[in-house]
A and B are shown apart, each in its own frame.
Chain A
Amino acid sequence: MSETAIRPRLVGPTATERLGKAAPLLLAPVLALIGLAAIGNPSVWLTLTVAGLAMGLMIFIMASGLTVVFGLMDVINFGHGAFVSVGAFVGFTVLAWLSGWTQNPAVVLNLAAVFLAILASMAVTGALGLAFERVIVKPVYGHHLKQILVTMGGLIVAQQLIHVIWGPDAIHVARPPSLQGSFIVGEAAIEKYRMLAVAIGLVLFLAMRHVLRATKLGLLVRAGVENGEMVEALGYRINRLFLLVFMAGSALAGLGGIMWGLYQETITAHMGSEIMVLVFVVVIIGGLGSIEGCFIGALLVGLLANYMAFLAPKAALVSTIALMVAILMWRPQGLYPVVKAK
């Protein structure tokens, strides 16, 4: 085929399309600036912004697994909240076992205890994800209504099992001493634990981006989100990829669970299903299957919830839903949809 026969010419994207693609990146900074203008006091704004980022990144941790499961497997998993709750309770148990470390003022021991609790939570919820996918989800691939029903059923079973193992009451989870209190920056108080949550969330986002962009496994996941059939026709077993992603998504929910539990300092069997409203809002805002969209959506929800709680507490409850409606009116498929809604 000669060059003269076909002159390579790149079709699009136009300047408008490029701008449209970049626009969502500006949303969180613009929201932060609007927040600064509305709050007026920079110290309060800084405290609220860090709190919003921490909250957003914890929601991102929980939502990232769900959005990839949505995108890759076309599975609506209403049971995702079960992994959040189980993760929190497993983490609490490990922290209780390591009470000698968590009550010690040494930062290293405190952080080691938290990271061991995180590892245990992720291991247990990852294994639970394996069982959940094989027993509950696999028989209903391709049937959305059945998926909603059986995953809701799985959620209820998991909540009742938590009641059986840990009892029906809410449990107080104390943060280790070095994660209590705040750093004082100027007149702003920035909670230490929120800084840890921001750090873990950012590291996780960058790691996920790296895996999805730079590894063959990541390429397979991204390709599978777009066209699973073609991935199979290239010779890859997408069922194994499904299982791996489901387990990873469940483990991330477990991580989100222990992080959220330490943030709220109280855990209940229903904490997962309660936070799932925000998780679904973030997934929808971000666009199904998109990690980047999920990240931006989570930051928006976290920042808005904190600003509104300060500015207009009564409106805070509906602010995230209003945000979702506004985003969907602008982009009906979400910010960066990888999978088009059917």
Chain B
Amino acid sequence: MADALLTLEGVHTHIGPYHILHEVSFAVPRGGVTMLLGRNGAGKSTTLRTIMGLWKASRGQITFDGRPIQGLATPDIARAGIAYVPENMGIFADLTVAENMRLAATNGPFDEKRLTWIKELFPPIGTFWDKAAGTLSGGQKQMLSVARAIIEPRRLILIDEPSKGLAPAIIAAMTAALKQLKDTDTTILLVEQNFAMASALGDTVAVMDDGRIVHAGAMAELAADASLQEKLMGLSLEVHQ
């Protein structure tokens, strides 16, 4: 794991009386896209929330760029350079698109060049700049959520199921945008159930089941091995292809 930007080692998470994550260990290599796959309820979102400190790891170590972060408060983890796109998108519906973006720019005014790039990447951001975010469609909200995460250069972006509930055309467009983001050497940890999106974007993969990592390796390896896919993820994989 010499080139890992983020590592989880033996992480356990409890939510109230429930033991959700069990001994979760995997690494996110620097500069690539790591896919976190698994069926519903496997613990993928909990893993991202644990990394962000929204739920505290009850045991184990989370290391970001050589520094343990599992004891830090969420704002400190964010300020260390980790952006988070939650499953529910976390859009502030009462605020305009511009205001959502302004809040995400924690270091001050926008970098105009970067903002222009984002507007090219996600055209609705520019089109609806002064509209309330709550009036956007589901796909547009998802774009705003990702745009917010990249308004300033981040060292790691955690994205939770960006394809969820979106039409196929929007998923294709989102995949293309994330590919462009990947080409900027941004490190991404991406939770997905859509295997087509996962295989198009992923360099490495970790598969979860029942709160445990059941497989970790190269994405190309898993994409090429139908029997391994079947073994790890069963029918749910085919349904989403």
**Residues in A lying within 8 Å of B, measured CB to CB:** 1-3, 5-6, 8-13, 216, 219-220, 222-223, 225-227, 229-238, 338
Contacts and interface: CB of A to CB of B under 8 A. Distances in A.
6 contacts: A1-B122, A1-B176, A8-B140, A226-B93, A226-B94, A232-B75
Given A6-B123, A10-B136, A237-B73, A1 B173 contact: yes
A236 to B, nearest CB: 6
Interface stretch (B15-23, B101-109, B208-216): B101-109
Given A5-B173, A6-B169, A13-B135, A233 B52 contact: yes
B177 A236 contact: no
Interface in B158-191: 169-170, 172-174, 176-177, 180
B78 interface: yes
Contacts of B99: 219
B106 A233 contact: no
A22 B123 CA distance: 30
A238 B122 CA distance: 29
A5 B90 CA distance: 24
Contacts of A5: 169, 172-173, 176
Contacts of B103: 216, 219-220, 223, 231, 234, 236
Nearest to B141: A11
A9 B141 CA distance: 12
Contact of B75 (A223, A225, A226, A237): A237
B106 A1 contact: no
B47 to A, nearest CB: 15
Given A1-B123, A8-B123, A8-B128, A216 B177 contact: no
B117 to A, nearest CB: 11
B161 to A, nearest CB: 16
Contacts of A6: 123-124, 139, 143, 169-170, 173
A1 B147 CA distance: 13
Given A234-B106, A235-B106, A226 B124 contact: no
A172 to B, nearest CB: 45
A12 B135 CA distance: 6
A324 to B, nearest CB: 24
Contacts of B143: 6
B84 interface: yes
A8 B74 CA distance: 33
A223 B102 CA distance: 11
Contacts of A238: 75
Contacts of A220: 103
A237 B174 CA distance: 31
Interface in B64-113: 73-75, 78-79, 84, 86, 90, 92-95, 99, 102-104, 106
Given A216-B102, A338-B94, 17 more contacts: A5-B172, A6-B169, A8-B127, A8-B140, A10-B136, A11-B136, A219-B103, A223-B95, A223-B103, A226-B92, A227-B92, A229-B90, A232-B54, A232-B74, A234-B78, A234-B106, A236-B75
A225 B176 CA distance: 34
A10 B78 contact: no
Which of A10, A216, A225 counts the most chain B CB atoms within 10 A?
A: A10
B121 interface: yes
A236 B103 CA distance: 9
Contacts of B177: 1
B75 A222 contact: no
A229 B53 CA distance: 10
Contacts of B73: 232, 237
B93 A1 contact: no
Nearest to A226: B92
Given A10-B136, A234-B104, A222 B94 contact: yes
A226 B124 CA distance: 22
B137 interface: yes
B92 A233 contact: no
B236 to A, nearest CB: 27
A2 B180 CA distance: 12
B59 interface: no
A113 to B, nearest CB: 40
B131 interface: yes
| Across the A-B interface, the 4 shortest Cβ-Cβ residue pairs | A230-B90, A235-B78, A8-B127, A5-B173
Contact of B92 (A216, A230, A237): A230
Contacts of B84: 233
